[in-house]
């Protein structure tokens, strides 16, 4: 689960991670009170709050440029906020549809001495948390890792002991910090790790982390995501979920325990198992088609789930055909077939439907499909199924 | 032979009285697997009954092992309590724990893995279909089935299969069996970012097993475990190997069902992994329908029999 920058900053504050002063506003009426709570004079940064990167270089659909703006005065900040709010921001990460801005974050602008990078995430190779720091901040860290790997420093933390002072000191020394900057950086790393661990975060990224001419070390930006598996024990984190940032189809799917992700293509798929669902998308592409979604109905799909899945798939106006691919290991193929027939009938399905069933009770399942009186194209293998649906929607 | 488990392996089930654990215990008993004990705290003294089978239930894993001689456990315990169940099995001295549970917090697994350091127990999973060593009977009955895989699609033979995904494993096994090619052992290592046994761990065992003549490796986007395995294969494995990577069309940054299936950087994409496979001499299945055929091609090129 992802959260907004302003929510991440609120968590930072709670755990003692130093940030520039900032206040969020979720309605236009909150703009002026928010601005008056900030320092009386001095410039302000106005930041659109959406769950996507590249905001600064983004453009709004009405032509207004920049999702993050530097305002010299409060009056200018208010003007920028009014332009951004309820406007749709398109960035390199949002896709052409962009995202509507439902919240604005105002922060006091601060003098930057130098920009750094700091992140905490899971190191999959060691199955332990890793803290990553770099002297190259404010740029894409993947690029730094590729071009100048010697400028990236890592410390792996033993989960049985947790973060020790020497871990944080080692990183601060490697970043070349001294005096107050050094002390403040160590403090910030320790606080950030505490937040990462206590909130079940998957990743905490501060890019850039900055030093100021007065020796402060501040998290200028914040990107935080959480482990979905741990949300059951973090109600305070789950409360930060913003449904505006999620595809309505994905929200609906999660109610039925379906794992659904919308994509750009026109062939919808309904599959059991994540690996099979991913490779069903791949094989559609391989035969020249384009998948409209990822949809895993899970290992024990019921008739209700299959029907719900069909409804969700069909709310996507781009969908021109459906491919059902079920390997019924334990799941009864006939249960799936019955669900498919019921859904196709209830929804008055008009677009081509190809069904590939294999496994447990497959003969009965195929019989249910063929005797339904509906136009359902049956396929024996994944390759056969993918070729058929690609041809039917062409 | 086979790897990790044989038809003689004595298995206990943690969470045997739950709906999920119970259903699959019945299927394993039907398959001929020696399920000798169940563990459900508070239900010790009761029995799990299925047909003529009467499996004793114990309050603790320690007790179950002492009385029944179980060496392996299948964990079907719900996510919040699964780490506790795994560590109970580790402390009780089991050789192997197969964790089927999906949705365990990553933090729990980080701690479990740390706690297992220096212990003799092997963990497979979590979030995995488990392990099958097919038997010699009809529909491969008489083998060892730990987990949730459909036993009947298997056939006893000489191909090892290792995969992060359940249904893709079944797909590969089904293709092999349909081609008259049997399997030595099939291992689902699970789709979570932190798991007990890696592709490479399993491949090393297949390589050492004289009864495994060929290997299918199934991977997906996220992490670099497949690349690590491929490099080892290039340097050490003479057996024919076929590979498939799922997720070529997955958008970056989105979690595709499996908690571990997310593209982070450039090295964990399907394209990067497929390139590594090819570079390391692994015959790549171009589509999931091509997995068995890819292994047949690899075997032919090396002049190796698969059945």
Q: Per residue, what are the HEC states of B115-159? A: HCCCCCCEEECCCCCEEEECCCCHHHCCCEEEECCCHHHCCEEEE
Q: Which of A6, A205, A256, A260 is catalytic?
A: A205
Pick from A128, A145, A277: CB nearest B257: A277
Express each pLDDT in A48-107 by its tens digit: 999 988 899 999 999 999 999 999 999 999 999 999 999 999 998 888 889 999 999 999
Given a contact cutoff of 8 angstroms between Cβ atoms, the answer to whether B146 and B140 are in contact is no
Structure tokens of A119?
């992140």
**CA distance, residue A328 to nearest chain B CA (Å):** 9
Q: What CA–CA distance (Å, rounded) separates A204 from A172?
A: 18
Interface test with B, best of A51, A141, A278 (most B CBs within 10 A): A278
For residue B116, give every residue at least 6 positions away whose Cβ sits within 8 Å of its Cβ, in sequence order, or none: B90, B123, B196
**pLDDT given at position A42:** 83
**pLDDT given at position B265:** 63
- With bands split at pLDDT 50, 70 and 90, how would you rate the model's confidence at B259? low
Q: What CA–CA distance (Å, rounded) separates B164 from A274?
A: 10
Please name which of A304, A276, A321 lies closest in space to residue B167, comparing C-alpha atoms. A276
Pick from B166, B170, B193: CB nearest A122: B193
**pLDDT given at position B224:** 85
Per-residue CA distances from B292 to A136, B120, B178 (Å): 47, 34, 9
Average confidence (pLDDT) over B86-106: 97
Pick from B244, B256, B286: CB nearest A294: B256
**pLDDT given at position B206:** 98
Given a contact cutoff of 8 angstroms between Cβ atoms, the answer to whether A212 and A218 are in contact is yes
Among chain B residues, CA nearest to A225: B253
Q: Tell me whether residues A128 and B167 touch, CB distance under 8 A.
A: no
Average confidence (pLDDT) over B33-39: 98
**pLDDT given at position B262:** 64
Express each pLDDT in B274-286 by its tens digit: 999 999 999 999 9
What value does the mean pLDDT of chain B take?
94
**pLDDT given at position B260:** 66
Give the pTM: 0.92
Does A10 participate in catalysis according to the annotation? no
Kindly write down the DSSP assignment for every residue of A113-125, as one continuous string. Answer: SEEEEEEEEEETT
Interface contacts A/B by beta carbons within 8 Å? 167
Please name which of A10, A12, A366 lies closest in space to residue A205, comparing C-alpha atoms. A12
**pLDDT given at position B35:** 98
- With bands split at pLDDT 50, 70 and 90, how would you rate the model's confidence at A302? confident
Pick from A142, A227, A359: CB nearest B265: A142
Q: What CA–CA distance (Å, rounded) separates A300 from A330?
A: 8
Sheet with strand B122-124: strands edge to edge: B47-50, B53-58, B34-39, B10-14, B72-75, B96-99, B122-124
How far is residue A216 CA from its own chain's centroid? 31
| pLDDT at residue A346 tops 70 | yes
**pLDDT given at position B264:** 62
CA dihedral A326, A330, A336, A338 (to 10 degrees): 150
Interface test with A, best of B123, B167, B225 (most A CBs within 10 A): B167
- The percent of residues above 70 in pLDDT, for chain A, comes to 99
Among chain A residues, CA nearest to B271: A282
DSSP three-state, residue A46: strand
Average confidence (pLDDT) over B210-231: 94
Least confident range from A104-108, A122-126, B212-216, B303-307: namely A122-126
Q: What CA–CA distance (Å, rounded) separates A118 from B100?
A: 35
Q: Tell me whether residues A275 and B258 touch, CB distance under 8 A.
A: yes
Q: Which of A6, A105, A116, A117 is catalytic?
A: A117
- As annotated, the active-site residues of B are 258
HSE value, Cβ hemisphere, 13 Å, CA-based, for B46: 12
Least confident range from A135-149, A187-201, B105-119, B182-196: namely A135-149
Q: Tell me whether residues A278 and B104 touch, CB distance under 8 A.
A: no
Express each pLDDT in B163-184 by its tens digit: 999 899 999 999 999 999 999 9
What value does the mean pLDDT of chain A take?
93
**pLDDT given at position B266:** 63
**pLDDT given at position A31:** 96
Angle at B77 between CA B73 and CA B81, to 5 degrees: 115
Q: Tell me whether residues A279 and B244 touch, CB distance under 8 A.
A: yes
Express each pLDDT in A182-210 by its tens digit: 999 999 999 999 999 999 999 999 999 99
> Which of A43-73 are b and which e, b meaning 16 or more Cβ less than 10 Å from the residue's Cβ?
ebbbbbbbbbbebbebebeeeeebbbbebee
- With bands split at pLDDT 50, 70 and 90, how would you rate the model's confidence at A356? very high
Q: Tell me whether residues A282 and B288 touch, CB distance under 8 A.
A: yes
Strands, E assignment, chain B: 10-14, 34-39, 47-50, 53-58, 72-75, 96-99, 122-124, 130-133, 144-147, 156-163, 183-188, 214-220, 241-246, 283-284
**pLDDT given at position A17:** 98
Angle at B94 between CA B91 and CA B97, to 5 degrees: 100
Q: Tell me whether residues B171 and A327 touch, CB distance under 8 A.
A: yes
For residue A148, give every residue at least 6 positions away whose Cβ sits within 8 Å of its Cβ, in sequence order, or none: A136
Strands, E assignment, chain A: 22-25, 44-48, 59-60, 68-71, 88-90, 99-100, 104-108, 114-123, 128-134, 152-156, 201-211, 217-219, 223-226, 259-262, 267-271, 293-296, 321-328, 353-359, 377-379
Average confidence (pLDDT) over A264-287: 94
Q: Tell me whether residues B256 and A277 touch, CB distance under 8 A.
A: yes
Pick from B24, B148, B165: CB nearest A275: B165
**pLDDT given at position B95:** 98
Q: Tell me whether residues B224 and A124 touch, CB distance under 8 A.
A: yes
Given a contact cutoff of 8 angstroms between Cβ atoms, the answer to whether B99 and B81 are in contact is no
Q: Which residues of A touch B255 (CB under 8 A)?
A: 228
Given a contact cutoff of 8 angstroms between Cβ atoms, the answer to whether B12 and B65 are in contact is yes
**CA distance, residue B253 to nearest chain A CA (Å):** 10
Structure tokens of A22?
């900032």
| pLDDT at residue A300 tops 80 | no
**CA distance, residue A128 to nearest chain B CA (Å):** 6
Structure tokens of B303?
């002049």
Q: Which residues of B touch A125 (CB under 8 A)?
A: 224
Average confidence (pLDDT) over A111-117: 96
**CA distance, residue A15 to nearest chain B CA (Å):** 19
For residue A326, give every residue at least 6 positions away whose Cβ sits within 8 Å of its Cβ, in sequence order, or none: A271, A272, A301, A333, A336, A355, A356, A357, A358, A359
């Amino acid at each position: 689960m992802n959260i907004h920058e302003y929510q991440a900053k609120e968590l930072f504050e709670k755990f003692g991670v130093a940030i520039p002063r900032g206040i969020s506003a979720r309605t236009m009426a909150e703009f002026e009170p928010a601005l008056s709570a900030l320092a009386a004079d001095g410039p302000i940064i106005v930041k659109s709050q959406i769950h996507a990167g590249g905001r600064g270089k983004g453009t709004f659909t009405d032509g207004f440029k920049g999702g993050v703006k530097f305002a010299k005065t409060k009056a200018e900040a208010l003007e920028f906020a009014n332009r951004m709010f309820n406007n749709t921001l398109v960035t390199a990460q949002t896709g052409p549809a962009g995202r509507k801005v439902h919240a604005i974050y105002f922060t006091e602008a601060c003098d930057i001495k130098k920009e750094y990078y700091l992140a905490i995430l899971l190191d999959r190779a060691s199955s332990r948390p890793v803290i990553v720091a770099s002297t190259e901040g404010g740029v894409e860290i993947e690029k730094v890792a590729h071009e100048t790997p010697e400028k990236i420093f890592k410390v792996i933390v033993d989960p049985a002991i947790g973060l020790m002072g020497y871990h944080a000191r080692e990183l601060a020394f490697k970043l070349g910090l001294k005096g107050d900057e050094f002390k403040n950086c160590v403090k910030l790393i320790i606080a950030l790790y505490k937040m990462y661990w206590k909130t079940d975060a998957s990743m905490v990224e501060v890019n850039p982390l900055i030093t100021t001419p007065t020796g402060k070390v501040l998290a200028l930006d914040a990107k935080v995501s959480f482990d979905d598996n741990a949300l059951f024990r973090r109600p305070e984190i789950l409360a930060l979920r913003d449904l505006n940032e999620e595809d309505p189809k994905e929200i609906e799917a999660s109610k039925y325990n379906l794992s659904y992700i919308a994509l750009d293509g026109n062939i919808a798929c309904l599959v059991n198992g994540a690996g099979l669902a991913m490779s069903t998308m791949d094989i559609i592409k391989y035969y020249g088609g384009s998948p409209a979604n990822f949809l895993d109905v899970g290992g024990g799909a019921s008739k209700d789930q299959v029907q719900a899945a069909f409804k969700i798939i069909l709310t996507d106006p781009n969908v021109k055909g459906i491919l059902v691919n079920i390997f019924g290991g334990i799941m009864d193929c006939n249960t799936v077939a019955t669900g498919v027939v019921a859904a196709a009938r209830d929804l008055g399905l008009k677009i081509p439907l190809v069904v590939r069933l294999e496994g447990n009770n497959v003969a009965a399942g195929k019989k249910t499909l063929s005797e339904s009186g509906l136009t359902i194209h049956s396929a024996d293998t994944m390759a056969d199924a993918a070729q058929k649906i690609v041809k039917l929607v062409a | 032979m086979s790897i990790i488990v044989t038809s003689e392996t004595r298995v206990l089930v943690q969470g045997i009285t739950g709906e999920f654990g119970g259903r699959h215990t019945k299927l394993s008993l039907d398959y001929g697997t020696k399920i000798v004990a169940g563990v459900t705290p508070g239900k010790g003294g009761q029995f799990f009954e299925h047909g003529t089978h009467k499996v004793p239930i114990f309050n603790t894993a320690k007790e179950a092992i002492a009385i029944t001689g179980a060496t392996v456990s299948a964990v079907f315990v719900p996510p919040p309590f699964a780490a506790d169940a795994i560590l109970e099995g580790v402390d009780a001295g089991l050789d192997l724990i197969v964790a089927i549970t999906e949705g365990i917090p990553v933090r729990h697994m980080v701690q479990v893995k740390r706690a297992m350091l220096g212990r003799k127990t092997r963990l497979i999973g979590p979030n995995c279909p488990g392990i099958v060593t097919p038997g010699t009977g009809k529909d491969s009955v008489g083998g060892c089935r730990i987990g949730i895989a459909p036993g009947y699609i298997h056939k006893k033979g000489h191909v090892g299969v290792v995969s992060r995904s359940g249904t893709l494993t079944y797909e590969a096994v089904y293709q092999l069996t349909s081609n008259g090619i049997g399997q030595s052992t099939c291992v689902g290592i699970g789709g979570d970012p932190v798991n007990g046994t890696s592709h490479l761990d399993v491949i090393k065992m297949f390589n050492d097993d004289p009864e495994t003549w060929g290997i299918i490796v199934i991977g997906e986007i996220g992490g670099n475990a497949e690349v690590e395995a491929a490099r080892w294969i290039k340097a050490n494995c003479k057996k024919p190997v076929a590979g498939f990577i799922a997720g070529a069309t997955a958008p970056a940054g989105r979690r595709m069902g499996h908690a571990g299936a997310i593209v982070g950087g450039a090295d964990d994409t399907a394209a990067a992994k497929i390139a590594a496979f090819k570079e390391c001499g692994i015959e790549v299945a171009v589509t999931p329908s091509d997995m068995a055929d890819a292994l047949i091609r690899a075997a032919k090129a090396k002049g190796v029999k698969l059945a």
